[in-house]
Amino acid sequence: MVRKMLSAAFVAATLTTPVQAQDLGDIVGGVARQYLQQEQDRAAFAQAQSQNTIRGYQSYLQQFPSGLYAAEARQQISRLGGSVDTRDDPYAGGSNSAGLSRDQRVAVQRRLNALGYSTNGADGNFGPGTRRAIALWQRDRNYTQTGSLTTAQANEILRGTAVAGSSSSSAGASSGSAARAEDDIGLSRSQRAAIQAELTRRGYDTRGIDGVFGRGTRGAIASWQQANRMSATGYLTVQQADQLAR
């Protein structure tokens, strides 16, 4: 499907005169990004359908307020007896919170981008792109995918540490420590994609090579670590990342 879309974009671009190489790359890249966003939209709505709860559909709408299935999600919320108005984002500067400053919001976006979660810009505005990035970040850390940050999550992104007083188990604390250690490496999206490609080449299926470390990639990393007698955390150390990215 992706190949067909990219081929169509290539034909359309070459029929336009004149077309520079850079322009053609932008066109094809734009088609690929659009396809990826549509797939994320479908996946998010499928998750909401599997939950079939008011909160699940509201979570979808927070991530994709103008998504492909937004109208259907609102219908389902009404059917379940809920309101189509999602709760205020505690970081939108609304009545529920003093909110993050604009500089802090920009810092959150830049940090998410550095971790491989594209926000489609870093302007301090938490739009659909940032909501998707936050939801993916939450998913990879086993948080509820709301697309909105709690105070603890904002601190974790901005400072690389969780808020004190967590009641996590020792195993959860160990996993959180491994996740923060990987965050500190600062892998770019291209480096993450290279790691996914190498894991796939070695027989560990990451379920895609997109530069985003989702559940498939975490499972592949853990399997690779276990096979090489390492602690199977699903998160990479500096040495492991260097070994896979070269």
Per-residue model confidence (pLDDT) at position 164: 35
Helix (H, G, I), strand (E, B) or coil at 113: helix
Same domain for 139 and 192, yes or no, is: no
Residue 90 falls within a domain, yes or no? no
What is the four-CA torsion angle of 36, 42, 44, 45, rounded to 10 degrees?
Answer: 160
Global confidence as pTM = 0.38
Per-residue pLDDT of the chain (246 residues; tens, 9 = 90+): 545 544 554 444 444 445 455 555 555 556 667 777 888 888 889 988 998 888 888 888 878 877 888 888 888 887 877 665 544 343 443 333 336 788 888 888 888 877 777 888 888 888 888 888 888 888 888 888 888 888 778 888 877 544 333 333 444 445 567 788 888 888 888 889 999 999 988 888 888 888 888 888 888 898 898 888 888 888 899 899 988 987
Per-residue model confidence (pLDDT) at position 137: 82
Residue 195 falls within a domain, yes or no? yes
Query: With 0-12 CB in 10 A as exposed, 13-18 as middle and 19+ as buried, what is 99?
Result: middle
Per-residue model confidence (pLDDT) at position 176: 65
Last residue of some domain: 112, 129, 159? 159
Residue pair 35/28 in contact by the 8 Å Cβ criterion: no
**Residue 139 burial (CB count, 10 A):** 17
Residue 96 falls within a domain, yes or no? no
Q: Could you tell me the residue range of the domain that residue 68 belongs to?
A: 2-79
Residue 65 falls within a domain, yes or no? yes
Per-residue model confidence (pLDDT) at position 44: 87
Per-residue model confidence (pLDDT) at position 91: 40
How many domains is the chain partitioned into structurally?
Answer: 3
